[in-house]
């Protein structure tokens, strides 16, 4: 297992084109510390090569494309959960960019997400995904939409399409996150139905 970790650490450094500090430990999920240039990778019993590749590719996407200044300056005074909205939109952007830069990463990411879905990493097993909030459906769509069916209204689908085709800069990510965050406040005001 340590050989696999060493190999994946080296691949991450090569993809990032910098000598990242790659650490493996008891983390809930993979993370990238933009300021200190640290890639933190969890160690799961069931973790395999494609999951490592997915996590490395995803976090290297942050290393290459997420601006440190912008990320750390993202206003968290907007309200609870705002930064999560930015992260969901940015995740979609950086994964698309890393797949373009390294075309072979695409299949590994799909295989890795398949394994995460099998292990219920997203905690959605047995749920009606279409009852989730829009931001959660968007997150699932961009990460495991190839394996699950997520429905969007016409208006929502326009936003998803825009994220898929127009989110090529950090500034656009922040604008979309702002919009989705404000939209979520309206979503929270909708009456809940018991059916």
What is the chain's mean pLDDT, rounded? 89
pLDDT band of 6, cuts 50, 70, 90: confident
The pLDDT confidence band at residue 95, using thresholds 50, 70 and 90, is: very high
CA separation, residue 6 to residues 3, 23, 46, 61 (Å): 5, 10, 18, 19
> Tens of pLDDT along 49-80?
899 999 999 999 999 999 988 676 565 677 77
Give the pLDDT mean for 95-110: 94
Note the pLDDT tens digit of each residue in 140-188. 999 999 889 899 999 999 999 999 999 999 999 999 999 999 999 887 6
Helices (H), 102-169: 105-118, 134-144, 154-166
Average pLDDT of the segment spanning 9-24: 90
pLDDT of residue 5: 77
Please state, in angstroms and rounded to a whole number, the distance separating the CA atoms of residues 19 and 2: 19
d(CA 93, CA 73): 19
């Amino acid at each position: 297992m340590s050989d696999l970790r060493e190999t994946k650490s080296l691949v991450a450094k090569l993809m990032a084109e910098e000598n990242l500090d790659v650490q493996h430990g008891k983390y809930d999920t993979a993370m990238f510390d933009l300021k200190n240039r640290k890639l933190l990778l969890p160690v799961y019993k069931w973790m395999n090569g494609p999951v490592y590749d997915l996590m490395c590719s995803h976090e290297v996407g942050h290393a290459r494309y997420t601006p440190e200044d912008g990320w750390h300056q993202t206003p968290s005074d907007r309200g609870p959960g705002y930064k999560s909205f930015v992260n969901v939109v940015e995740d979609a952007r950086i994964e698309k960019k890393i797949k373009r830069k390294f075309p072979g990463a695409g299949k590994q990411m799909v295989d890795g997400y398949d394994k995460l879905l099998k292990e219920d990493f997203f905690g959605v097993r047995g749920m009606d995904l279409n009852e989730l909030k829009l931001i959660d459906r968007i997150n699932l769509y961009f990460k495991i939409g190839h394996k699950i069916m997520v429905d969007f209204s016409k208006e929502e689908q326009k936003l998803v399409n825009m994220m898929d085709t127009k989110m090529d800069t950090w500034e656009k990510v922040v604008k979309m996150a702002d919009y989705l965050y404000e939209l979520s406040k309206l979503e929270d005001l909708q009456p809940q139905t018991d059916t």
